[in-house]
Amino acid sequence: MTNISETVKDQYRERVVRNLEYYNELLLAIHNKRTEASLQTMLAEQFSLTFAILWETFLNDLIIAYVEMSPDKFVQDLQRRINQSISDKYGLESARNTTTSLPSNLSKSRVVSLIDPKGWNITINSSSDLSSMANRYLSASHAKRFSLDAADSELIDFIFPLRNYLAHRSQKSKDMLVEYQSRLNEAINAPLAGNLRIVGVYLKQEFQPGETRTMFLAQRSIQIASNL
């Protein structure tokens, strides 16, 4: 049971590394092609979107894994919300006379059905969302892993609007991306400074020989994931 969360982290790392390898292979395949520049832009966008989706899935799976390992805090929160819902709808007396019984040990499928009953995956849109959810659902020993430092928080907050922009390219998502780039102040995230006018071009640019920004983002996410 104690290895569930590490398995989730390992799977994320392996998936991102595998996609990085594909990305590098494709960059070699298009080298010296007539449309190399355009293809580089397309590949940077596609890989960035792929890894951002993998990141969102990873966070969902990791929260579920930690709840499965130590469900008490989540069960308490769920019972509180059920009682509050009954009280709001039927009154305090009804809530006081209604009992809910949940098992102390929850299988993964039971955790998923309780934490994500509509099947849309857990919604996390920022580093603060992630920390708040961890504090709400997870035991203290697991929740403390989500006490993020400034560098990790600002990187996570940049990934979400990047994913949104690449997915639907709305002006609002572009504005949010620019806003969160301006909040990247920690030295470790310095490679993400640059002109965002054309996002694909920004992502494919090398901050050092052979290292594009999209590679940097993926590698940083692996570092952060290993500490959660």
Domain-embedded: residue 18: yes
The structure tokens 């009992």 sit at 99
Asked if 135 and 143 count as a contact pair (C-beta separation under 8 A), the reply is yes
Domain-embedded: residue 204: yes
Domain-embedded: residue 212: yes
Domain-embedded: residue 52: yes
**Separation CA 189–CA 131 (nearest Å):** 20
Rg of the chain (C-alpha set): 21
Domain-embedded: residue 154: yes
Structural domain range at position 146:
4-69+140-227
- Our measurement of the distance from residue 96's CA atom to the centroid of its chain's CA atoms, rounded to an integer in Å, reads 38
Note the pLDDT of residue 143: 96
Q: How confident is the model at residue 44 (pLDDT cuts 50, 70, 90)?
A: very high
**pLDDT above 90: residue 75:** no
Q: How confident is the model at residue 76 (pLDDT cuts 50, 70, 90)?
A: confident
Exposed (0-12), middle (13-18) or buried (19+): which is 31, by Cβ within 10 Å?
A: exposed
Domain total of the chain: 1
Domain-embedded: residue 157: yes
The structure tokens 């430092």 sit at 149
Strands 211-212 and 206-208: antiparallel
Average pLDDT over residues 25-46: 98
Q: How confident is the model at residue 81 (pLDDT cuts 50, 70, 90)?
A: confident
Note the pLDDT of residue 92: 74
Note the pLDDT of residue 111: 86
Higher-confidence position of 138 and 87: 138
Find the length of the chain. Answer: 228
Average pLDDT over residues 32-56: 98
**pLDDT above 80: residue 101:** no
The overall pTM is greater than 0.85? yes
DSSP 13-33: HHHHHHHHHHHHHHHHHTTT-
Domain-embedded: residue 189: yes
